[in-house]
Amino acid sequence: MGITISSAFDAGNIRVVGQDGDTFDLEIVKDHLSDFYQWFYFRVAGAAGREVTLRIVNCAGAAYPNGWPDYRACLSVDREEWVRVADTSYDDGVLTIRLTPTADSVWIAYFPPYSMERHHDLIASFAALDGVEYRSLGQSLDGQDIDCLTIGSGPLNVWLYARQHPGETMAEYWMEGALDKLCDPDDPVARVLRTDATFRVVPNMNPDGSRRGHLRTNAAGVNLNREWHAPSADKSPEVLCVRTAMDDSGVDFAMDIHGDEAIPANFLAGFEGIPSLTDRQSKLFKAFSDSLERLSPDFQTAQGYEVPPPGQANLSMSTTQLAERYGCVSMTLEMPFKDNFNLPDPVHGWSPERSRHLARACLDALHAILPQLGEAARV
């Protein structure tokens, strides 16, 4: 029987460009109307018990070539548990994945995928709970709703949003952990958070890119996290509708959830370079980061992005735009595609379950700074 490789499904991405026996040459497909690519997700069928070699040959031109060294591909038989393929190597622009599938249908991906079908399951399950309010903030270019869940009734306005970059699927697994904790009727931290704050949660900012199997852009090839200074209905309605809802509610605290291809650690990026930076904002950001570092051994502050000089912030990004626009505390959380090399898991690497745990720690850290945040909001 012949081996087949396919990606014509929700969030799939790969192209077969050559075959020699059980060795396949593959290419990752660019985001539509864009040059970005790095996300892959495909099925290998009919290969049980055979040694298969998968060579992704266009990795040198991917968005983040530094993402490939020390990276190991993800594999699943049941599409629920994902493990790392130990025999993954990167050399001369080619990522080589060698495996002997145990079943005739196995799935390979850059990171455990988060399809739009799974997104709809997530929204349906939480929207049905008492104390959770569902709202569509607007629609994407492909006509998909921008789903928002509101939880809690306190005076502090907290926004959590993820997957502006659709290939960073760990961000929506983080959302599962955050929503689980926030909606737990017995969790004492959640009970206090729901009393002191109103949470507006957008688990997926970019449904079109998610369904199309994009790395970084929407249906028009636009990077949503470069649109926050001037979102438009024809290029970035996803950002326009969320920013409009934020203008209506106000924002005291916001987290934008992402994944980083190259750095093997969890870290935060802040808003240090905004023109109207205040001491209050900087202190609250540091208080949150310090708390999170104490609460989660998976979080650290030694590695991260370079901090821009004073006044040099890029205000087209959401974190800086929100901090400047609302005087709030906002931040970008980056999780690794590879692993946290300080606390590695050789079987799973960085994983959905660890992303969920980190989300719970982030809410604990938010709880730890609530007195300072509440005081600042009242001033």
Instruction: Give dist(CA 170, CA 181) in Å, integer.
Output: 17
The two three-digit tokens of residue 45, written as one number = 């069928």
Which residue lies nearer to Zn ion by CB, 258 or 356? 258
For the bound state, the minimum distance from the C-beta of residue 293 to Zn ion, rounded and expressed in Å, comes to: 21
- Please count the residues of the chain: 379
For the bound state, the minimum distance from the C-beta of residue 262 to Zn ion, rounded and expressed in Å, comes to: 12
Q: Binding mask 236-265 vs Zn ion (x if CB under 5 A, - otherwise)?
A: ----------------------x-------
**Angle (nearest 5°) at CA 204 between 220 and 106:** 90
Which residue lies nearer to Zn ion by CB, 165 or 367? 165
Stretch that binds Zn ion, among 106-114, 123-131, 157-165, 339-347 (CB under 5 A): 157-165
Residues 98-137 that bind Zn ion (CB under 5 A): none
The two three-digit tokens of residue 299, written as one number = 């979080």
For the bound state, the minimum distance from the C-beta of residue 258 to Zn ion, rounded and expressed in Å, comes to: 3
Alpha carbon of 174 to those of 27, 177, 216, 357: distances in Å? 29, 5, 18, 8
What 3-state class would DSSP assign to 353?
Answer: helix
The answer to whether residue 214 forms part of the interface with Zn ion (CB under 5 A) is no
Which residue in the block uniquely carries the two structure tokens 């704050």? 197
Which residue lies nearer to Zn ion by CB, 30 or 258? 258
Which residue lies nearer to Zn ion by CB, 238 or 252? 238
H runs (alpha helix) in 128-276: 170-182, 188-196, 207-212, 237-249
The answer to whether residue 165 forms part of the interface with Zn ion (CB under 5 A) is yes
Q: 133 φ, ψ to 5°?
A: -110, 130
- Kind of pairing between the strands at 156-162 and 253-260: parallel
Instruction: Give dist(CA 205, CA 218) in Å, integer.
Output: 9
Number of residues that bind Zn ion (CB under 5 A): 3
Residues 313-352 that bind Zn ion (CB under 5 A): none
State the catalytic residue, choosing from 133, 334, 353, 375: 334
Which residue lies nearer to Zn ion by CB, 67 or 152? 67
Instruction: Give dist(CA 164, CA 256) in Å, integer.
Output: 8
Instruction: Give dist(CA 330, CA 243) in Å, integer.
Output: 14
The answer to whether residue 163 forms part of the interface with Zn ion (CB under 5 A) is no
Stretch that binds Zn ion, among 40-48, 158-166, 200-208, 275-283 (CB under 5 A): 158-166
For the bound state, the minimum distance from the C-beta of residue 260 to Zn ion, rounded and expressed in Å, comes to: 7
For the bound state, the minimum distance from the C-beta of residue 81 to Zn ion, rounded and expressed in Å, comes to: 25
CA-closest candidate to residue 29, choices 50, 47, 8? 8
Which residue lies nearer to Zn ion by CB, 189 or 323? 323
Task: Assess whether 324 carries a catalytic annotation.
Answer: no
Q: Which residues are catalytic?
A: 334
Q: Which residues bind Zn ion (CB under 5 A)?
A: 165, 168, 258
